[in-house]
């Protein structure tokens, strides 16, 4: 698990992270500080770089002990990330890596078998890379494309995936490929006390972006990535 959320008896929540930076695979330490300060204003306590975590209570859950500090709580939630279960495909002759590998038409390595949604590691014609996304919008749009191709339409899936969430009213938007490890460079285009825009580049072109706070330029940034325009 990468993080633990604890509902305290006082009504305040604690977020425990095993490293010094949460969402470290996606956002910078500067962007994290914006989110952390915003959450702290809404009563969230951050316990970072947790080295030792154990449970309290002999029967029912009563809290946890972190780095010798005891935190009483009635509720515990553990964030473990996203893992695909592909054992059902064993022996089916379908290629599986992080997800079910498919082409730009969402067809797998087996003719007439298609994949869509969280399980699909598809040929992204916009980013020129096999990608896998775990969001509702992508799943819905891929489902429509896969259905059309099952009916013989031969339609490419050509959408730059993006999704958004909100932290106590502060918007967070992820566009395209935002994995820091696969980017050649991540450029900080906007950074102030409340807002951040990071552009992810690979092979000299923008392939993704993370927007925190003001999202007015979401459409502009999305179009620039799709059209291979420089920032």
Check whether 33 has a pLDDT greater than 70.
yes
Q: Which residues pair with 205 in a beta bridge?
A: 202
Q: How confident is the model at residue 34 (pLDDT cuts 50, 70, 90)?
A: very high
Check whether 13 has a pLDDT greater than 90.
no
Q: How confident is the model at residue 18 (pLDDT cuts 50, 70, 90)?
A: low
Check whether 1 has a pLDDT greater than 90.
no
pTM given for the model: 0.84
Residue given tokens 């964030």 in the structure block: 79
Q: How confident is the model at residue 16 (pLDDT cuts 50, 70, 90)?
A: low
Q: Enumerate domains of the chain plus CATH numbers.
A: 3-79 (3.50.50.60), 91-150 (3.50.50.60), 162-226 (3.30.390.30)
pLDDT at 10: 41
Check whether 82 has a pLDDT greater than 80.
no
Top mean pLDDT of 15-24, 79-88, 171-180 is at 171-180
C-beta contacts of 211-217 below 8 A and 24+ residues apart: 211/171, 211/172, 211/173, 211/175, 212/27, 212/31, 212/34, 212/35, 212/170, 212/171, 212/172, 212/173, 213/34, 213/170, 213/171, 214/171, 214/190, 215/164, 215/171, 215/173
DSSP state of 225: H
pLDDT tens digits for 186-227? 999 999 999 999 999 999 999 999 999 999 999 999 999 999
Give the mean model confidence (pLDDT) for residues 80-99.
Answer: 83
């Amino acid at each position: 698990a990468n993080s633990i959320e604890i509902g305290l008896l006082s009504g305040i929540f604690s977020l425990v992270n095993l490293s010094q930076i949460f969402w470290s695979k996606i956002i910078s330490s500067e962007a994290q500080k914006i989110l952390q300060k915003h959450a702290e204003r809404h009563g969230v306590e951050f316990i970072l770089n947790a080295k030792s975590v154990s449970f309290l209570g002999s029967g029912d859950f009563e809290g946890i002990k972190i780095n010798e500090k005891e935190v009483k709580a009635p509720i515990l939630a553990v964030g473990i990330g996203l893992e695909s279960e592909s054992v059902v495909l064993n022996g089916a002759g379908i290629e599986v890596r992080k997800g079910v590998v498919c082409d730009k038409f969402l067809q797998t390595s087996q003719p007439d078998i298609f994949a869509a949604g969280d399980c699909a590691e598809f040929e992204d014609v916009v980013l020129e890379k096999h990608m896998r996304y775990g969001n509702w919008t992508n799943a819905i749009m891929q489902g429509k494309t896969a259905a059309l191709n099952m009916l013989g339409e031969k339609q490419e899936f050509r959408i730059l995936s993006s999704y958004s969430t909100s932290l106590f009213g502060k918007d967070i938007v992820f566009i395209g490929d935002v994995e820091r490890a696969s980017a050649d460079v991540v450029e900080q285009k906007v950074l102030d006390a409340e807002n951040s825009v990071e552009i992810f580049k690979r092979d000299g072109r923008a392939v993704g972006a993370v927007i925190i706070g003001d999202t007015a330029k979401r459409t502009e940034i999305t179009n620039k990535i799709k059209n291979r325009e420089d920032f």
